[in-house]
């Protein structure tokens, strides 16, 4: 009994020292927010707190947010930049290596700060992403600094926000907007490098237990004219890989594409000669269209005609014959096949396509 009373007394003495904190809205009404977007194959995520102007127009820049590096009279930093938001660190995370305003920044999570200037400002990416604000900012932890020119905006922004604009396949502009200023900076990714890294990793996973992913990775290399040597290795594995390799039109034609890109034309022709007899109707038609697009008209016409001979009277082969004969300026003969195809069109889009072809042929014009 005495032992129990001693434990209880000890707990009671400790209770005033325990800091109990309930969950409440952030101080000052600053709203927590996050924005994320994929640029190319890179995920970019920003976590921040959104302060409001709250009637302080004209008193944000240079007053509430000091210019340059300031002594905040708290913490260890005597020259602190702005935290680029409110409360805890603003953080920005990149899943792959990127370029910010043309400068390299490795993948990772960073504390994001800005040293505000009257005309241009310094963006700072710090390896310290866990502090509160910039009270303990240390420039030795900087990973990257870039200088940008901020811009004035006509329509005031009440609550600070980040957004992604001007997106392309491998880049975007991130913009911080608040009051009447905005701070844009461009993030670029190496899409080709990132894609190849993903292929290499995925081909070592369960996805590599089938010929199709190997062929798809090899075909991507051919289509983008990059990484051709490794692409050829992937193409060969899709054909001869132990237990999974399969010799078919798709795998062989992909290998032929790579050989063509590498200037090995004789080898490419030999592989395609082996592939063509294995092709189905749609594969032959697509191959003929590729030849036509590459201005290899004679070879394309031969493929269209061979496809019709193998699969006569089908919508696809009738369309192929119309294209072949049109390229030879045999518009009346081509019109017969296009007319036959018009009654076989599988959907409204194809029907409209055939009707457009018929109009061109009637006018004596070559179809695409």
The per-residue pLDDT for 26 is: 64
pLDDT in tens, 73-112: 999 999 999 999 999 999 999 999 999 999 999 999 999 9
Is the pTM of the predicted complex or chain greater than 0.85? no
pLDDT in tens, 292-347: 998 999 999 999 999 999 999 999 999 999 999 999 999 999 999 999 999 999 99
Q: What is the 3-state secondary structure (H, E, C) of the chain?
A: CHHHHHHHHHHHHHHHHCCCCCCCCCHHHCEEEEEEEEECCEEEEEEEEECECCCCCCCCECCCECCCCECCCCCCCCCECECCCCCECEEEEECCCEEECCEEECCEEEEEEEECCCCEEEEEEECCCCCECCCCCCHHHEEEEEEEECEEEEEEEEEEEEEEECCCCCEEEEEEEEEEEEEEEEEEECHHHHHHHHHHHHHCCHHHCCHHHHHHHHHHHHHHCCCHHHHHHHHHHHHHCCCCCCCCHHHHHHHHHHHHHCCCHHHHHHHHHHHHHHCCHHHHHHHHHHHHHCCCHHHHHHHHHHHHHHCCCCHHHHHHHHHHHHHCCCHHHHHHHHHHHHCCCCCHHHHHHHHHHHHHHHCCCCCC
pLDDT in tens, 170-201: 999 999 999 999 999 999 999 999 999 999 99
């Amino acid at each position: 009994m005495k032992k129990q009373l001693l434990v209880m007394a000890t707990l009671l003495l400790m209770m005033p020292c325990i800091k109990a904190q309930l969950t409440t809205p952030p101080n000052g009404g600053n709203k927590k927010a996050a924005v994320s977007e994929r640029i190319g194959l890179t995920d970019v995520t920003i976590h921040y707190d959104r302060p409001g102007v709250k009637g302080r127009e004209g008193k944000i820049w240079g007053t509430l947010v000091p210019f340059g590096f300031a002594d905040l009279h708290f913490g260890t930093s005597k020259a602190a930049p702005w935290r680029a938001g409110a409360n805890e660190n603003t953080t920005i995370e990149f899943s792959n290596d990127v370029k910010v305003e043309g400068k390299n920044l490795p993948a990772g999570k960073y504390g994001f700060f800005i040293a505000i200037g009257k005309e241009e400002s310094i963006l700072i990416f710090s390896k310290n992403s866990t502090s509160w604000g910039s009270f303990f900012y240390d420039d030795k932890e900087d990973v990257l600094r870039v200088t940008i020119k901020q811009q004035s905006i006509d329509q005031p922004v009440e609550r600070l926000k980040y957004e992604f604009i001007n997106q392309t396949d491998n880049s975007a502009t991130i913009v911080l907007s608040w009051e009447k200023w905005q701070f844009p900076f461009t993030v670029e990714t190496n899409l080709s490098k990132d894609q190849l890294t993903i292929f290499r990793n995925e081909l070592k996973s369960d996805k590599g237990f089938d010929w199709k992913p190997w062929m798809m990775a090899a075909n991507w290399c051919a289509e983008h004219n990059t990484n051709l040597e490794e692409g050829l290795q992937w193409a060969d594995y899709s054909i001869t890989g132990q237990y999974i390799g399969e010799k078919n039109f798709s795998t062989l034609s992909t290998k032929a594409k790579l050989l063509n890109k590498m200037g090995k034309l004789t080898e490419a022709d030999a592989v395609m000669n082996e592939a063509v007899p294995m092709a189905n109707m749609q594969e032959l038609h697509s191959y003929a269209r590729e030849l036509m697009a590459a201005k290899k008209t004679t070879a394309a016409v031969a493929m269209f005609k061979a496809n019709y001979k193998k699969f006569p009277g089908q919508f696809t082969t009738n369309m192929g014959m119309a294209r072949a004969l049109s390229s030879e300026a045999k518009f009346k003969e081509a019109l017969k096949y296009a007319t036959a195809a018009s009654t076989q069109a599988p959907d409204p889009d194809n029907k409209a396509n055939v009707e457009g072809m018929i109009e061109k042929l009637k006018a004596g014009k070559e179809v695409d």
